[in-house]
Amino acid sequence: MIRPTAVFASALLWLSCLSQAPALAQTPSAVAKAFAGRWITYDRNFSDQKSCIFAFSSELKDDIFPIAKTGCTGALAAIVGWRIQNNQLVFVAEDKSAIALVGGNQERMSGSILQSKLPIIFERLEVAEKIEQARKSIECSYVGYSQTCASPQDFTPPPATIGSPSPIQILVNLNARAEPRNSASVKGVLKPNACVSAEVCTVASDGLWCKVKTENGNAWVKKQTVRQQRWPIITFKNGCV
């Protein structure tokens, strides 16, 4: 019998080993074929249900690759397709104006809505569902380095919004990454008990990610991870002592 903890650890380790290459330095046709299929975001800022799902077409139409949508609201509801610009995907509206800019690989992309600056994470649907299922099967995630299992309250996002940051206290040695992706470069390591400002947060299949201010500029930290490839842990708590 496979333990839930092992399933979650395997899923996260697999995700962290995905190619870091953006897979965008190709012809538009090759990129379209590589990225074709269903993508999901769990951020409730962009969905009237549990999630917003995009279906990428690989067939060029009117100079863009069309996108069909399910359950999407807000800025994402206006997106009709994408094009390539400077090695990134640009999501566009009916009039071809840019709505969002994302980068990443064929399993996970991240970026922001250009007007509101809200972050956005899109994941390959089939991959995301497996990771989400494994994460939710965990019976106990420890609070930092302690032997205390986290309560539902420990998973609550900090009340951080654009223009209104919220303090969080780091509980472990925590990688701060350039983007909310396990494959993104590490900009620094935050130490236990450090107090930093969360600028904004978003949700992915592997849980909550928050953009924080560090000595090396803004970076992203993940709320839930696996310590020593074995123990699921909570990496920070809301508020500082």
pTM (2 d.p.): 0.88
211 pairs with which residues across the strands?
200, 220
Note the pLDDT of residue 134.
92
In CATH, 140-238 is 2.30.30.40: yes
pLDDT in tens, the chain (241 residues): 234 444 444 444 433 433 334 445 578 889 999 999 999 999 999 998 789 999 999 999 999 999 999 999 999 999 999 999 888 999 999 999 999 999 999 999 999 999 999 999 999 999 999 999 998 899 999 999 999 999 999 999 999 999 999 999 999 999 999 999 998 999 999 999 999 999 999 999 999 999 999 988 999 999 999 988 889 999 999 999 8
Strand order in the sheet with 207-214: 186-190, 174-177, 217-222, 207-214, 195-204, 166-170, 236-238
If phi over 0 gives left and psi between -120 and 50 gives alpha, with beta otherwise, what is residue 62? left
Residue partners of 146: CB distance under 8 A and separation at least 6: none
Considering the chain, tell me which residue range(s) the CATH 2.30.30.40 domain(s) occupy.
Answer: 140-238
**Distance between CA 137 and CA 130 in Å, rounded?**
11
Pinpoint the residues of the chain covered by CATH 2.40.128.
4-129
Sheet strand arrangement including 224-227 = 142-143, 231-234, 224-227
Q: Which residues contact 72 (CB under 8 A, 6 or more apart)?
A: 46, 47, 52, 53, 54, 79
The pLDDT assigned to 86 comes to: 86
Q: What is the pLDDT of residue 18?
A: 38
| CB crowding 186-217: b at 16 or more within 10 Å, else e | ebeebeeebebbbbbbbbbbbbbbbbbebeee
Q: What is the SS3 assignment for 172?
A: coil
Class of domain 4-129: mainly beta
